Amino acid sequence: MSDTENLPLRSAHWFAPHDLTGFIHRTAIQAEGFSKFAIENRPVVGIANSWSELVNCNIHFKLLAEAVKRGVLMAGGLPLEFPTISLGESLMKPTAMEFRNLMAMDVEESIRAYPLDAIVLLGGCDKTVPAQLMGAASADVPVIMLTGGPQEPAFFRGRQLGVGTDTWKYADELRAGTITQDDFDELEGSAKPSAGHCSEMGTASTMTSIVEALGMCLPGTASIPAVHARRAAAAEATGRRAVEMALHGPRPSEILTEQAFDNAITLLMAVGGSTNAVVHLLALARRVGYELQLDRFHEISQRTPRIVNVRPSGEHLVKQLFDAGGISAVLKELDPLLHGDALTVTGERLAEGYAAAPAPDGDVITSLDKPFDATGGIAVVRGSLAPRGAVIKRSAASAELLSHRGPAVVFEDIYDMGRRIDDPDLTITEDSVLVLRNSGPKGAPGMPEWGMLPIPERLLRKGVRDMVRISDARMSGTAFGTTILHVSPESAVGGPLAAVRDGDPIVLDVENQRLDLDIPHEEIDRRLAEIDPPKPKYRRGYGRLFLDHVTQADEGCDFDFLQKLPDEEPQTLPLGLTSGWQGGW
């Protein structure tokens, strides 16, 4: 749509009619202290705020929402803030991932049901960003995202820390006996020094970076620190742009194209980002009717070098990435590999957003011809142990373990692992392959971040710091190690992971994309036929809905009924929105 041609305002269907229904709608707003002038022929911009005192990543969102409102008012719109549920990875059990789809439904139905012409999404912590994008994509009303930004770097005894990455390292050293409990207690007070999400390229920073590559936020806003003044200025600018989008678009369906997803995956591989992004992008693509396949991630990874030096696949933090030019600078260097003409929320091409970004500094961001790794951060493997695929963050793995054959040590679930991992009678060596099952979408349920299995204490004390680990779980984007994740199909639905027994040889060959249980296929089938399916973990409520409808990891773990159907028409207005006696009587 051209800039001179305005979209019809959705809100006008609520507020414009001079009848009883319009009367009821207008008085509902005037009861809040707004004048009639505030809603006359004026774009209404909703601000979907995932603020919560249970989610430290998003604790500064009240201030950001005020800055967004300021921008909306400057541009002549009416800002109306509304809450959604908020997902925090640290405190929610068994995992925030179990509730990602619930938040997506909350966002989608709030957008669809209320008189909103455009929406600003405020998200930061790991699952809030994909949940908001998924809901907004399904509602398909003009949307722009403002992410919360990373927290300030932590320091412990003069050393800069990554919130998660270094915590996992110090936890291993505590179990190995190289630091004391007093040391670890002192670390606790230093680990998270400010508002904002994790300071390394964990899932939160990965997803916020991907938002910029998808074209769903203003250029240059992905990596601004949470407490930086530019974050509030970006919020104001986002509010102004939201008013323009209410009048002229574009809608998510015009932005979230196949080319946009290729751009996002390219960026994911170049920054050494979180494996969790694979699941979220698979789910988001299906919300707009694009059947993104797991193998596309491997194809793009093979042609995309890693050019960002940020933990856990490097040395620095996102704060240093911001200082070096941020995601815009990374996208500019990736330009030959991108679809630069992809549409963004600015109404312009993606390439126009990074055209003025600085050249690589050579330390935090390097050039395509001098990469930190020749290929991208994530690889896909398949085989008799993962017929529908699994993923590994090879940029954070031990190179010598990317080709490995070893005997399995099997844990039935996370509780079995907790009981036995440090048992002195456990038969295990550094060549063993740790296997965790019943930790996938249905088995856990919710596919928690349990995949970075701990190294047994006695091996830690011998200096072992990595082993091959395999599960149908996820792992934190801040984590590291030779961990094969998202094994699909999961064990709880009869996947081959359920057939593994202690001592079975397992073969990993990342270069050739193989993950095999090295026993005859007939034996695998025989074992699986003897296994009774596990009892459902939930019998009622949202948990029951989740178990009945969640898809497997290679399809994004979304609900099957939320994926866009081939013949689905957009539902632009709530049912029953006509003149008459509807609307609260």
Model confidence at 579, pLDDT cuts 50, 70, 90, reads very low
What is the residue range of 490's domain?
378-529
Q: Do 346 and 241 contact (CB within 8 A), yes or no?
A: yes
Return the pLDDT at 458: 95
Distance CA 118, CA 358 (A): 32
Encode pLDDT of 534-557 as tens digits. 899 999 999 999 999 999 999 999
Structure tokens at 337: 């590999």
Model confidence at 562, pLDDT cuts 50, 70, 90, reads very high
- Three-state SS at 251: coil
Q: Comparing C-alpha atoms, which of 429, 456, 451 is closest to residue 440?
A: 451
Encode pLDDT of 468-499 as tens digits. 999 999 999 999 999 999 999 999 999 999 99
Phi and psi at residue 160, in whole multiples of 5°?
Answer: -75, 135
Q: Is residue 429 part of a domain?
A: yes
Distance CA 563, CA 457 (A): 44
312, 447: one domain: no
Domain boundary among the residues 140, 166, 193 is at 193
Q: Is residue 238 part of a domain?
A: yes
How does 452-479 read in b/e, with b if 16+ C-beta sit within 10 Å? Answer: bbbbbbebbeeeeebbbbbbbbbbbbbb
Residue 164: count of CB within 10 angstroms of its CB: 25
395, 498: one domain: yes
CATH number of the domain at 388, please: 3.50.30.80
Structure tokens at 118: 């455009």
Structure tokens at 334: 């990736």
Residue 189: count of CB within 10 angstroms of its CB: 10
From residue 174, alpha-carbon distances to 54, 231, 482 in Å are 28, 37, 21
Distance CA 310, CA 307 (A): 10
Structure tokens at 88: 């925090």
Model confidence at 161, pLDDT cuts 50, 70, 90, reads confident
CATH number of the domain at 320, please: 3.40.50.2300
Q: In the β-sheet with 118-123, what is the strand arrangement from edge to edge?
A: 78-83, 44-49, 118-123, 143-147
Distance CA 211, CA 204 (A): 11
Q: Is residue 233 part of a domain?
A: yes
Distance CA 167, CA 523 (A): 41
Q: Is residue 555 part of a domain?
A: no
Return the pLDDT at 583: 43
Task: Indicate if the pLDDT at residue 259 is higher than 60.
Answer: yes
Alpha helices (H) in 90-228, listed in sequence order? 100-113, 128-139, 165-176, 181-188, 203-214
Tell me how many domains the chain contains: 3
Return the pLDDT at 575: 44
Model confidence at 572, pLDDT cuts 50, 70, 90, reads low
Q: Comparing C-alpha atoms, which of 27, 17, 100 is closest to residue 446?
A: 100
Q: Is residue 359 part of a domain?
A: no
Distance CA 139, CA 129 (A): 16
DSSP character at residue 318? H
The three state secondary structure string of 25-84 is HHHHHHCCCCCHHHHCCCCEEEEEECCCCCCHHHCCHHHHHHHHHHHHHHCCCEEEEEEC
Q: Cα–Cα–Cα angle for 64, 354, 210, nearest 5°?
A: 60
204, 323: one domain: yes
Model confidence at 566, pLDDT cuts 50, 70, 90, reads confident
Return the pLDDT at 4: 52
451, 328: one domain: no
Task: Indicate if the pLDDT at residue 434 is higher than 60.
Answer: yes
Return the pLDDT at 578: 46
User: Could you tell me what percent of the chain has a pLDDT over 70?
Assistant: 96
**How long a stretch of residues is the chain?**
585
515, 499: one domain: yes
Model confidence at 585, pLDDT cuts 50, 70, 90, reads very low
| Residue 536: half-sphere exposure toward Cβ, Cα within 13 Å | 12
| pTM of this structure | 0.95
Task: Indicate if the pLDDT at residue 189 is higher than 90.
Answer: no
Task: Indicate if the pLDDT at residue 183 is higher than 50.
Answer: yes
Return the pLDDT at 190: 86
Return the pLDDT at 570: 63
Model confidence at 520, pLDDT cuts 50, 70, 90, reads very high
Burial class, 509, CB count within 10 angstroms (exposed 0-12 / middle 13-18 / buried 19+):
middle
Task: Indicate if the pLDDT at residue 171 is higher than 60.
Answer: yes
From residue 230, alpha-carbon distances to 3, 227, 345, 532 in Å are 28, 8, 19, 56
Return the pLDDT at 584: 40
User: Could you tell me what percent of the chain has a pLDDT over 90?
Assistant: 91
- Three-state SS at 383: strand
Task: Kindly report which listed range (198-202, 430-434, 469-473) carries the lowest average pLDDT score.
Answer: 198-202
271, 306: one domain: yes
Q: Is residue 437 part of a domain?
A: yes
Residue 221: count of CB within 10 angstroms of its CB: 25
Interhelix angle 203-214/276-287, rounded to 10 degrees, is 40
Pair type for strands 468-471 and 154-156 = unpaired
Return the pLDDT at 375: 96
Distance CA 431, CA 91 (A): 34
Encode pLDDT of 358-395 as tens digits. 999 999 999 999 999 999 999 999 999 999 999 999 99
Distance CA 165, CA 148 (A): 20
Q: Is residue 350 part of a domain?
A: yes
Q: Do 103 and 132 contact (CB within 8 A), yes or no?
A: yes
Encode pLDDT of 20-47 as tens digits. 999 999 999 999 999 999 998 899 999 9
Burial class, 324, CB count within 10 angstroms (exposed 0-12 / middle 13-18 / buried 19+):
buried
Mean pLDDT, the chain, whole residue set: 94
Encode pLDDT of 103-146 as tens digits. 999 999 999 999 999 999 999 999 999 999 999 999 999 999 99
Structure tokens at 271: 């920054």
What is the DSSP secondary-structure string of 478-525?
T--SSEEE--SS-GGGT-GGGG--TT-EEEEETTTTEEEE-S-HHHHH
Distance CA 257, CA 252 (A): 9
170, 148: one domain: no
Return the pLDDT at 8: 87
Q: Is residue 575 part of a domain?
A: no
Domain boundary among the residues 529, 550, 578 is at 529
325, 414: one domain: no
167, 218: one domain: no
Encode pLDDT of 43-91 as tens digits. 999 999 999 999 999 999 999 999 999 999 999 999 999 999 999 989 9
Return the pLDDT at 6: 80
278, 160: one domain: no
431, 495: one domain: yes
Domain boundary among the residues 287, 319, 354 is at 354
Structure tokens at 490: 């999961």
Alpha-carbon radius of gyration of the chain: 24
Distance CA 393, CA 482 (A): 8
Q: Does residue 489 have a cis bond before it (omega within 30 degrees)?
A: yes
160, 147: one domain: no
Q: Does residue 312 have a cis bond before it (omega within 30 degrees)?
A: yes
Q: Comparing C-alpha atoms, which of 144, 145, 84, 80 is closest to residue 115?
A: 80
Task: Indicate if the pLDDT at residue 197 is higher than 80.
Answer: yes
